[in-house]
Structure 1
Amino acid sequence: MVIANATRDTRPMAFLDRDGVLNVDTGYPIHPHEIVWMKGCFEALKRLKDAGYRVVIVTNQSGVARGFFSEGDVQALHNWMNGEFTRSGGDISAFYYCPYLPDAPLEAYRQDHPDRKPNPGMIFRGLRDYPTDFAQSFLIGDKDSDLEAAAAAGIRGFKFAGGDLDQFVLQCLSSTHVSS
């Protein structure tokens, strides 16, 4: 459930939720034409890259468990998104997604999985997969469950209420800078 570009250099990590942070949450978007980018999204990703952050996407995708689309559809959308980000100067190290839901209509996906936020599983996976400067790492999400996952993983969480993502990232970077 990951698209990863693994490297072994230690850097801080910015975990970003997808729907409601990178793109407007329009209700289970799965095709490129359904994606409405959040204002400042591309600039924010470039800013994080330029600041030395590894960017990892952590997203609950219960549309799979509800039978709205397949895991292959999620992976295809993430591949397309990654191409858009790369073309605009951003860099995503990994996309982690959780297709599970405790009361899922599809039995194969009916569970409270450790990766499903507010559980911290996807964050822990990113921290295991990449050497990380933990003190400066953080998560940006739009829901309380995102912040709960960050707290459970022991990293800072910032709640994004919409608007200009680049300006929000600038504020997050200012508040997470740790002097050496």
Structure 2
Amino acid sequence: MTPHPLQEPGLWVQRIGGRVFPQGMPALFLDRDGTINIDTGYPDDPAGIALRAHISPVIAAANHAGIPVVIVTNQSGIARGYFGWDEFSAVNGRVLDLLGREGASVDMVLACAYHENGIGPLAIADHPMRKPNPGMLLEAARRLDIDAPRSLIVGDKPADMEAGRRAGLAQGWLVDGEPSRQGDFAISSLRDRSDFDSLLGAIAALGAAPGQA
């Protein structure tokens, strides 16, 4: 079995594929459960994974635009002892496989398993890598030399949007949420086809923009 890409007991950082990106590119950050796949609570069974509608074309659009795609996911189920990194790996592999079947790919996956109600070394409150803290986004930005202020995040919880804001991103799309603004950080709703079209347009604009100022 391939060793899990753990940087520490509660932090998974996996570089996927060999795509090379120019310095200073923006990225598309996405939460996983409830954003890419239908949220089933604490997903630990690959057989129960299904993608949300319309999300694969969003990721594929970023692929075609040459923009890194990064998953940033909290996994408190691991901290609480509901399942382990083996189950996470199997579920995540299923998510990536389903995306691949629809012509979409991910370049990096980061997962944080720290939680205040965790067990043993995973019992850490307000860990810097756990959203709404921006640690996972900042770590991906460092590793891929991402231009955070031009990057986008898609998520289904306010914590995803707050992590994006704290990481210095300019825009977020909140699944089934309401449009709002937090300082310079703009949140758009992601409910219907017109919202997805707006997100696709924002990704296309990033791909058309120069990678360096």
TM-score band, normalised by the shorter chain? Answer: 0.7 to 0.9
Post-superposition shift, 1:135? 4.3
Could you tell me which residue of structure 1 aligns to residue 122 of structure 2?
109
Q: Indicate whether 1:160 and 2:171 are aligned.
A: no
Post-superposition shift, 1:143? 0.7
User: Does the aligned pair in 2 maintain the 1:12–1:52 contact within 8 Å?
Assistant: no
Could you tell me which residue of structure 1 aligns to residue 180 of structure 2?
none
- Once the two structures are superposed, what CA deviation does each residue of 1:70-101 show, in whole Å capped at 9, x if it has no partner? 01211222123222222321110011001110
Matches within 5 A, 1:74-85: 74-85=88-99
CA RMSD, 1 decimal: 2.1
- Residues 48 and 117 from structure 1, CA distance in 2 versus in 1: closer, same or farther, beyond 3 angstroms? same
Q: How many residues align?
A: 178
Post-superposition shift, 1:2? 1.9
Q: 120-129 or 44-53: which moved more? A: 44-53
User: Does the aligned pair in 2 maintain the 1:40–1:167 contact within 8 Å?
Assistant: no
User: Does the aligned pair in 1 maintain the 2:61–2:200 contact within 8 Å?
Assistant: no
Equivalent residue letter for 1:110: A
Post-superposition shift, 1:33? 1.5
Could you tell me which residue of structure 1 aligns to residue 154 of structure 2?
140
Which stretches in structure 2 are left out of the alignment for 5+ residues?
1-11, 177-189
Could you tell me which residue of structure 2 aligns to residue 9 of structure 1?
21
Equivalent residue letter for 1:170: D
Greater relative contact order structure (CA < 8 Å, 6+ sep): 1
Which stretches in structure 1 are left out of the alignment for 5+ residues?
none
User: Does the aligned pair in 1 maintain the 2:37–2:95 contact within 8 Å?
Assistant: no
Post-superposition shift, 1:126? 0.8
User: Does the aligned pair in 2 maintain the 1:15–1:56 contact within 8 Å?
Assistant: yes
Post-superposition shift, 1:132? 2.2
Matches within 5 A, 1:1-180: 1-5=12-16, 7-10=19-22, 11-104=25-118, 106-111=119-124, 112-155=126-169, 156-161=171-176, 163=191, 168-175=195-202, 177=205
- Residues 135 and 149 from structure 1, CA distance in 2 versus in 1: closer, same or farther, beyond 3 angstroms? closer
User: Does the aligned pair in 2 maintain the 1:61–1:97 contact within 8 Å?
Assistant: yes
**TM-score, length-scaled by structure 2:** 0.75
In structure 2, distance between residues paired with 1:175 and 1:55:
14
Equivalent residue letter for 1:70: G
Q: Which has the larger radius of gyration?
A: 2
User: Does the aligned pair in 2 maintain the 1:8–1:131 contact within 8 Å?
Assistant: no
- Residues 138 and 93 from structure 1, CA distance in 2 versus in 1: closer, same or farther, beyond 3 angstroms? same
Give the secondary-structure state (helix, strand or coil) at the position aligned to 1:26: coil
